[in-house]
Amino acid sequence: MDLGIEKSARKGLVLFTQYEAGSAIKKAIAGGREDVLFELRESRLKGRGGAGFPTSTKWMITAAATAEKKYIVCNADEGEPGTFKDRVLLMEYPEAVFDGMVIAGYTIGAQYGIVYLRGEYEYMFAMLKEYLEGMRAKNLLGQNILGKEGFNFDIEIRLGSGAYVCGEETALIESLEGQRGEPRNRPPYPVNTGYMGFPTVVNNVETLAAVPHILLKTGEWFRKHGTDKSTGSKLFSVSGDCERPGVYELPWGISVRELLDVVGARDTKAVQVGGASGVCIPKSQFMRKLSYEDAGTGGSVMVFNETRSMLNVMHNFMDFFVEESCGQCTPCRIGNERLLEGVHKLISGDFTFAYIRNLKELGATMQVASKCGLGQSSPNAFLSILENFSDEIYQSNGSGVTHA
């Protein structure tokens, strides 16, 4: 299958470096749980799915919980528009991802690992299953892993069925339990009450893939990359108007401008950082840094050149959320419909500024009153495009929009 860039051509600081399967597991077992947690804490690794919760805290809470069973779930429900880094990791670096899961299992005392693979990636299913079989043969999975008495851990792959919201960790758990993928009320958090009511760590593919590297090369080494609050490197999935779209591993803190140079983007008007749930950055802000402190992202970077209609982009994103909201809570279910209606009115020119002001306020409410991260971030694109490209948006007044 054509995957764009060859693996051998990939260059990076952490994830896109050599890793020998099983080596970090060996080190983890030799050093003990405390060491793993120590290195992780030192690394200041934060969740790569976008929310940026400290991974070590998540693991520590679950490790401290006493329960009959614990679970480690790898969130491979990569559905954020413009994100495809997990595809690359799973296809090309499964050893790092799965070893990360085994180490997590060892550290928190979980016996079961589940990979929730999005339905769209079903084509990887057989390959990944085969890889897991190989791990079992090498005793990297199964009973008494690598001779460690009592360390039993196995991984199962479960397929999603086409629902963006299942990337939200509690929705993912609901889906695993055979339910509609509707996010739960939190608290309680999955680290206490997760899959089947047991303590569960849900980590992004990229987070887990970083763990073996951190363990082998120390947390201190990892921390040297990136910025103070955003340590290490990040995989950026770059798409849109540029010469070299693809996945790039770059240190956190790189500016939008620098990234655009790397991927060969010219005449760029705007960059959508963080996918549909992210924000749209105009040219004037290209010095902004990609980091948790400034423009945080799960990795999606979409580049739009001068010829593109931002209203069209907005339209596409709002369509997306109306479809992909789980439909459970009022602000997200109806709020997104009203915002989409607003986009239609912007397109037709049939709007008043008072009405647009109301929609902006509604967006602010959705950001704080929605039940989960999806709803809370769903108005971001609408609000930021409206704010940063107001001239363009209001000028299209009545004239309709040209196709992007």
Partner 1 sequence: MLKQTESRAPVSQKSHKIDKPVDPNSIGATITIELNEKKIAVPLGTTILEACKANQVRVPTLCHHEDLCIAGVCRVCVVEVEGMKSLQAACAFPITSQIKIKTSTENVRKARRHIIDLLLSEHHGECYTCVRNRNCELRALASEYGVDGFTFGHREKKMHEIDKSSYSVLRDMDKCILCRRCVRTCIDLQEVGVLEAIDRGGKTHIGTFMGKPLSEVICINCGQCINRCPTGALFTNDPSDDIWRAIDDPTKHVVIQTAPSPRAAIGEEFGMPAGTSMTGELNTALRRIGFDKVFDTDFSADLTIMEEGTELLLRLKAALVDKDPNVKLPQFTSCSPGWVKFIEHFYPESLDYLSTAKSPQQMFGALMKTYYAQEYNLDPKDIVTVAVMPCSAKKFECNRPEMVDSGYKDVDYGLTTRELAKMIKEAGIFLPEMPKSEFNDPFGEASGAGLIFGATGGVMEAALRTAYELITGREVPFENLRIEACRGFEGIKQASVKLEGCVPAWSFLEGVDLKFVVAHGTANARTVMELFKQGELNDVHFVEIMGCPGGCIGGGGQPIPTSPEIRKKRAEAIYAEDESMTIRKSHENPHVKLIYEKFLTDGPCGHKSHELLHTKYVKRGSFIV
Partner 2 sequence: MLVYEKNNLMEEIQQLGKKHGINRNALIPILQDIQAKYHGISDFAQQEIGRMLSIHPVEVYSVVSFYSFLNSNIEGRNVVRLCKTVSCDLAGKCDIVKAIERELGIKFGETTKDKRISLEYTNCLGMCDQGPAMIVNERVYGKLTPEAAVTIINEIK
Shortest Cβ 187–partner 1 spacing (Å): 6
Q: Which stretch binds partner 2 (CB under 8 A): 49-57, 60-68, 157-165, 251-259?
A: 157-165
Dist. CA 251–CA 15, nearest whole Å: 11
- Contact call for residue 329 and partner 1 (CB under 8 A): yes
Q: What is the DSSP string of 170-204?
A: HHHHHHHTTS---PPPSSSPTTTS-GGGS-EEEEE
* Binder of partner 1 out of 244, 361, 399, 404 (CB under 8 A): 361
Compute φ and ψ for 231, nearest 5 degrees: -85, 155
- Contact call for residue 293 and partner 1 (CB under 8 A): no
Tokens of 326: 């789980």
Tokens of 315: 């339209």
The residue among 147 and 187 lying less far from partner 1, judged by its C-beta, is 187
- Contact call for residue 168 and partner 2 (CB under 8 A): no
Look at residues 245, 280, 288, 244 and name the one whose alpha carbon lies nearest to residue 382. Answer: 280
| Eight-state DSSP code of residue 6 | -
Query: Residue 111 carries which side chain, given as an amino acid letter?
Result: Q
The residue among 108 and 302 lying less far from partner 2, judged by its C-beta, is 302
User: Quick one: residue 27, left, alpha or beta (phi over 0 = left, psi -120 to 50 = alpha)?
Assistant: alpha
* Binder of partner 2 out of 308, 322, 332, 375 (CB under 8 A): 308
Shortest Cβ 379–partner 1 spacing (Å): 12
* Binder of partner 2 out of 37, 61, 146, 159 (CB under 8 A): 159
* Binder of partner 2 out of 33, 158, 338, 360 (CB under 8 A): 158
- Contact call for residue 344 and partner 1 (CB under 8 A): no
- Omega of the bond leading into 94 within 30 degrees of 0 (cis): no
The residue among 175 and 203 lying less far from partner 1, judged by its C-beta, is 175
Compute φ and ψ for 144, nearest 5 degrees: 45, 60
x-or-dash string of contact with partner 1, 93-122, rule CB under 8 A: ------------------------------
Residue 376 touches which of partner 1, partner 2, none (Cβ within 5-8 Å per kind): partner 1
Q: Which residues pair with 289 in a beta bridge?
A: 255
Shortest Cβ 315–partner 2 spacing (Å): 10
- Locus of tokens 């009973």: 143
Dist. CA 382–CA 366, nearest whole Å: 12
Shortest Cβ 311–partner 2 spacing (Å): 13
- Contact call for residue 177 and partner 2 (CB under 8 A): yes
Q: What is the DSSP string of 331-391?
A: HHHHHHHHHHHHHHHHHHT---HHHHHHHHHHHHHHHHHSSSHHHHHTTHHHHHHHHHTHH
- Contact call for residue 206 and partner 1 (CB under 8 A): no
Rule CB under 8 A: which of 82-141 touch partner 2? 82-84, 86-87, 118-123, 125
Residue 184 touches which of partner 2, partner 1, none (Cβ within 5-8 Å per kind): partner 1
- Contact call for residue 161 and partner 1 (CB under 8 A): no
Dist. CA 61–CA 286, nearest whole Å: 38
x-or-dash string of contact with partner 2, 287-306, rule CB under 8 A: -------------x-x-x--
| Eight-state DSSP code of residue 259 | H
* Binder of partner 2 out of 194, 219, 232, 245 (CB under 8 A): 245
Compute φ and ψ for 135, nearest 5 degrees: -65, -40
Q: Which stretch binds partner 1 (CB under 8 A): 89-97, 117-125, 186-194, 235-243?
A: 186-194
Q: Which residues pair with 174 in a beta bridge?
A: none
Determine contact, residues 4/124, Cβ cutoff 8 Å.
Answer: no
Residues in the interface with partner 2 (CB under 8 A) total 59
Query: Residue 263 carries which side chain, given as an amino acid letter?
Result: V
Compute φ and ψ for 28, nearest 5 degrees: -60, -45
Look at residues 20, 25, 19, 24 and name the one whose alpha carbon lies nearest to residue 147. Answer: 25
- Contact call for residue 199 and partner 2 (CB under 8 A): no
In the complex, the residues that contact partner 2 under the rule CB under 8 A are: 1-2, 4, 78-84, 86-87, 118-123, 125, 158-164, 175-181, 196, 237-241, 245-247, 272, 275-276, 300, 302, 304, 308, 312-313, 316-317, 320, 323-324, 326, 403-404
Residues that bind partner 1 (CB under 8 A): 163, 165, 174, 177, 179-180, 182, 184-185, 187-188, 193, 197, 321-331, 333-338, 341, 358, 361-362, 364-365, 367-371, 376
